[in-house]
Amino acid sequence: MRLVPFGSLTDENFAAWRAIRDGDSRWDSPYFTPEYVAAVHAGRPVEVLIGDGFVWPLHKSGSSAKPAGSPGADFQGPLVEPGVRLSPQRMLASVGIRSLAFDHLLDGYQDFEPWVEEKRVSPVMDVSGGLDGYTKRVDKSGRDKMSEARRLTNKASRELGPVEFTVRARDGLDHVIALKREQYASTGARDHFADPVHQDLLYRLLDSELGLLSTVYAGPHLLAAHFGIRSHGVLHWWFPVFDRKFGSYSPGWILLREMVMAAPDLGITRIDLGRGEDEYKRRAMTGSSTVCIGAVTSGLRTSARRMSRAAVAAAKASPIAPQLKAIARKFR
């Protein structure tokens, strides 16, 4: 096992990477492509852990590491040939890594199971066959929202101006990032785009084959937009935004319906909505995958992490959690 700077990978290394990925659909997400990692590496150095039948791009800092793209990568994990088994602790120790934390590790890595602390659902939409195919698979709640989105699209056209959907927009990413930052501020969530590195990554991806910026306007008004990444038949639903003053039109659902209708022309058969319990994800999903939170560490560090996560979970479950969040927001 060796750790190689991304910029030092050879054509042979990339060929092995792509062969492993193409051989198993579990890594069909764009997060597992060399192109995504290249875009990440341009803003923040990536080193790739390489062994026989094994590839894992990482950010290394001292003796600690995280999957490449963290904290923005919604799917993580090594690409491994069938039958390859390993000892994560010994593997990492061989390259000077004492701790590797993950928060979106794909479920199913048997060798990493002892270090998984929590598992979360990551909803998906099967959009093969476009809107007709999708509405046959989604439950009644999702079908009702799609019907409502159609009616509200017509209403927006009458009241605001003709509704226009652009699936491959080239302008407007500044506005998307600004709206997303407003959303973070209003909900008290951590501002992902406070770090310019994360903003720059989106611009690089937009200039690549992976990035996809889509917008919905009603007349001169931007109702909603989305920036995601895609590869083969998969679109990862990454940064959706909408203008809150048009919230009565359910602009997010209007945008999602337009994307489902456009899916066949884009060659997209699945939309990964990402980990989360948002109501729209619950309604829109036709299935789900599972991602894991945890860290490969020494025994003492593992115990400390588990105790810390238990304390956080208890605080979130506390009746005074909303008040604590409000206080914390005042000191941001």
Within its chain, how far is the Cα of 103 from the centroid? 11
- The reported pLDDT for the residue numbered 277 is 86
What predicted TM-score, i.e. pTM, was given to this entire model?
0.89
When mean pLDDT is compared across 25-29, 193-197, 286-290, 321-325, the lowest value belongs to 321-325
Q: Answer yes or no: is pLDDT of 313 > 90.
A: no
Q: How far apart are CA 89 and CA 97, in angstroms?
A: 9
- The reported pLDDT for the residue numbered 332 is 38
Kindly report the CATH class assigned to 2-120+291-330.
alpha beta
C-beta separation of 210 from 35 below 8 A: yes
- Tokens 């910029």 locate to 7
The CB-based long-range contact list for 20-29 (8 Å cut-off, 24+ gap) reads 20/53, 20/55, 20/79, 20/80, 20/81, 21/79, 23/81, 23/82, 24/79, 24/82, 26/106, 26/108, 27/79, 28/231, 28/232, 28/233, 28/234, 29/74, 29/75, 29/231, 29/234, 29/236, 29/272
Range 311-320 average pLDDT? 50
- Distances, alpha carbon 83 to alpha carbons 3, 122, 259, in Å: 22, 26, 38
- Per-residue pLDDT tens for 93-113? 999 999 999 999 999 999 999
Interhelix angle 173-187/196-206, nearest 10 degrees = 140
176: which 2 tokens? 């998307």
When mean pLDDT is compared across 28-37, 165-174, 198-207, 320-329, the lowest value belongs to 320-329
> What letter would DSSP give residue 100?
E
Same CATH fold, 128-268 and 2-120+291-330? yes
Within its chain, how far is the Cα of 35 from the centroid? 16
Interhelix angle 11-22/34-41, nearest 10 degrees = 130
Pairing of strands 234-242, 64-67: unpaired
- Per-residue pLDDT tens for 160-171? 999 999 999 999
Q: Where are the alpha helices (DSSP H) in the chain?
A: 11-22, 34-41, 88-93, 130-137, 140-159, 173-187, 196-206, 251-266, 279-284, 299-317, 321-330
Question: At 263, phi and psi to the nearest 5?
Answer: -55, -45
Residue ranges covered by each domain of the chain: 2-120+291-330, 128-268
**Is the bond leading into 319 cis (omega within 30 degrees of zero)?**
no
Q: How far apart are CA 34 and CA 38, in angstroms?
A: 6
- The reported pLDDT for the residue numbered 319 is 57
- Per-residue pLDDT tens for 251-283? 999 999 999 999 999 999 999 999 998 999 999
Q: Answer yes or no: is pLDDT of 305 > 70.
A: no
Q: Answer yes or no: is pLDDT of 314 > 90.
A: no
- The reported pLDDT for the residue numbered 232 is 87
Q: How far apart are CA 132 and CA 139, in angstroms?
A: 13
- Per-residue pLDDT tens for 217-247? 999 999 999 999 999 899 999 999 999 999 9
C-beta separation of 123 from 75 below 8 A: no
Kindly report the CATH class assigned to 128-268.
alpha beta
